[in-house]
Amino acid sequence: MHRHRSRVLLALACCTVLGGCGGRAADTPLLRESFDSGDTYTRDIDASPAQACEAARRALLGQGYAITRAGTDSVEANKNFQPREELHEQLVLRVSCAAHGNGRAQVFASAVQDRYALKKSPTSASVGVGALGSVSLPFGGNDDSLVRVASSTVQDPVFYRHFFERLQQYLAPAAPGDAAR
């Protein structure tokens, strides 16, 4: 009876440990992805896909982004930031424009923020010494390199709202006085 009870307690302990691990996994952002019906990343635009993507390209250029790829159905651009001396951030914005019926476009936007930190590595040189083989000796230099330390999709609805509002401004019909400027 005592042996049976020990086995039951051991089985319960294993289930508790496994259940606890499963609970923590459900808290990861990957598993919390909801695919809800929100429109944070997309808008319907009264323009053709090519016109919408051209407006997106102009909106990004107007905000200091460097265009890395542009076509009639997609635009990719990036912008660099350096908030602190040894920290570098890059924002990459990808826009796709698809036909949505009756000459309208559906525009999808997704931004990824990458964070890089400066990593210093001491420099050394190897010297061959007859009977001892090779000896590595440090010499006063450092090799500095940027190493990506974080990457995440921007999920701020206000960021996307501002982007789509700016895109819309580039689609607005030109006022009569605009041609003279």
| Tens-digit pLDDT profile for residues 44-76 | 999 999 999 999 999 999 999 999 999 999 999
pLDDT tens digit string along 75-94?
999 999 998 888 899 999 99
Residue 103 identity: G
The secondary element (H helix, E strand) that includes residue 160 is helix 157-171
8 A C-beta contact, residue 149 and residue 115: yes
Amino acid at 32: R
pTM of the model: 0.68
Topology at the third CATH level for domain 38-115+151-172: TATA-Binding Protein (3.30.310)
